[in-house]
Amino acid sequence: MKIGCPAEIKNNENRVGITPNAALAYAQAGHEVFVQKGGGLGSAITDDEYVKAGAKVLATAPEVWAASDMIVKVKEPLAAEYKLMKENQLVYTYFHFAADEELTKACLASKIVAMAYETVQDGNILPLLKPMSEVAGRMSALMGSFYLAKTHGGRGLLPMGVSGVAPAEVVILGGGSVGTNAAFTAAGLGTRVTILDVNINRLEYLHDVMPANVTGLYSDPVNLETSIKTADIVIGAVLIPGAKAPKLLRKEHLKMMRPGSVIVDVAIDQGGCFETSHPTTHSEPTYVVDDIIHYCVANMPGAYARTSTFALNNATLKYGLMLANKGVEAACRESEALLLGLNTYKGAITFKAVAEAFGMLNNYKDPRAVVA
Ligand SMILES: NC(=O)c1ccc[n+]([C@@H]2O[C@H](COP(=O)([O-])OP(=O)(O)OC[C@H]3O[C@@H](n4cnc5c(N)ncnc54)[C@H](O)[C@@H]3O)[C@@H](O)[C@H]2O)c1
């Protein structure tokens, strides 16, 4: 198969879809790999490293898209890339369709096959979301702490406190991959952490593994309201796979919080779990509503690009090789995990929650049927 990796064009997105190690693995499996000139530089990877791994460097994004049967990326195609997508082309990347109707329509119109990292599911695990959730989770505690400084617009709290002065309180909504990593980092910084989830088994697990400064709480409206009243940082990390995030923190809740507190909506890529969230970028990461600082960067791991690129490739390569070696249909027939990642197929939606999000059930097809 001809496999292409264009440079990312989203604001401050420095990750890249294929590392030289992954390029070598694809080449050794008999595939041809094209990378865009300079595409790895944001992750401190040179063109030379790709050439040594057997990849061919092409000058522009249109050349890479045109040469490839399968595109391996990081972020969803942006408007400038819509016209580069080709009928029947397999695009293997994050899409987060439920938060983006325009992207959904563009992918349907171009009749690509969209294999979305975020819904590939192996048992209860989302293996291609997990590495980025680790990064974003750890980072969310750092970003929340950073903006608590008075000089960054916050309440002027040193997160870990000092002798005789209490540390900050961190509330985390959702105790999955993001929430757990946020909790470990916030706890390690010495803050007092409360983590809310609706999954009893997950709460049990958190109870067993978390340090003493982390408390697990069942997520219901009363516990949420009580927790946020004393929170200095609230981190949004809930997920209902493939669907829009539920709006747990509403506008009226902001008035109950202390001015200068920080909310970090990591779930913003699925529409956000705070009512007042809207996506921000690394160049302008925050804005203020009702005296509460909102940090809602949709591609947080882009800031720690090299770590993130290698962590992502460790997870995507296995499934990428299955897709390239067998073709998307056979790979999906053999792997339930990949079948669940199939979001659009040649003009039809094949992921029910996406069709439901936009009232497009008339254009929904069972993924099992399209790959049969
Ligand atoms: N902004 C970014 O750069 C970035 C990076 C990585 C991940 N994310 C996003 O972060 C979100 C969380 O990802 P994850 O990997 O942790 O998912 P996950 O599936 O591991 O965890 C989600 C958790 O939310 C819990 N949950 C569901 N409904 C809830 C509710 N009402 N109250 C409390 N908890 C609830 C679930 O039980 C689960 O434990 C996703 O939207 C993901 O796309 C964003």
- What would the pLDDT profile of 121-144 be if each residue is shown by its tens digit? 999 899 999 999 999 999 999 999
Residue list, ligand 1 pocket, CB within 6 Å: 118, 129, 132-133, 136, 173-179, 196-199, 202, 219, 237-240, 245-246, 248, 266-270, 298-301
Which amino acid residue places its CA nearest to atom 12 of ligand 1?
A: 237
Residue 244 has pLDDT above 90, yes or no: no
CA 238 – ligand 1 centroid, Å? 3
CA 179, CA 52: separation in Å to the nearest integer? 39
Instruction: State pLDDT tens for residues 153-200.
Output: 999 999 999 999 999 999 999 999 999 999 999 999 999 999 999 999
Instruction: End-to-end CA distance of the chain: give it in Å, rounded.
Output: 21
Find the catalytic residue in 31, 96, 253, 294: 96
pTM of the predicted model as reported, rounded to 2 decimal places: 0.88
Beta pairing, strands 262-265 & 292-295:
parallel
Residue 245 has pLDDT above 90, yes or no: no
Check residue 270 and give its pLDDT: 84
CA 171 – ligand 1 centroid, Å? 14
CB 35 within 8 Å of CB 50: yes
CB 102 within 8 Å of CB 121: no
Check residue 99 and give its pLDDT: 85
Q: Active site includes 31?
A: no
DSSP, collapsed to helix, strand or coil, labels residue 31 as coil
- What average pLDDT does range 312-340 have in this prediction? 98
DSSP, collapsed to helix, strand or coil, labels residue 198 as coil
Question: Domains in the chain, please, with CATH?
Answer: 2-126+305-371 (3.40.50.720), 130-298 (3.40.50.720)
Q: Sign of the C-alpha dihedral, residues 40, 130, 339, 97?
A: negative
Q: Active site includes 269?
A: yes
Question: What does the CA dihedral 84, 87, 91, 94 come to, rounded to 10 degrees?
Answer: 80
Q: Locate all alpha helices (DSSP H) within the chain, ordered by sequence.
A: 20-28, 47-52, 61-67, 79-82, 101-110, 130-147, 177-188, 200-209, 221-229, 251-254, 305-326, 328-334, 336-341, 352-357, 367-371
Phi, psi of 278, rounded to the nearest 5 degrees: -140, 150
Residue 242 has pLDDT above 80, yes or no: no
For the chain, give the mean pLDDT.
96
Candidate of 129, 207, 219, 277 to mutate for ligand 1, largest count of ligand atoms within 8 Å of Cβ: 129
CA 248, CA 258: separation in Å to the nearest integer? 18
CA 275, CA 247: separation in Å to the nearest integer? 5
CA 156, CA 153: separation in Å to the nearest integer? 8
Residue 241 has pLDDT above 80, yes or no: no
Amino acid identity at 315 = A
CA 239 – ligand 1 centroid, Å? 3
Check residue 243 and give its pLDDT: 76
CA 247 – ligand 1 centroid, Å? 12
Place of tokens 């993001």: 178
CA 314, CA 303: separation in Å to the nearest integer? 18
CA 38, CA 204: separation in Å to the nearest integer? 46
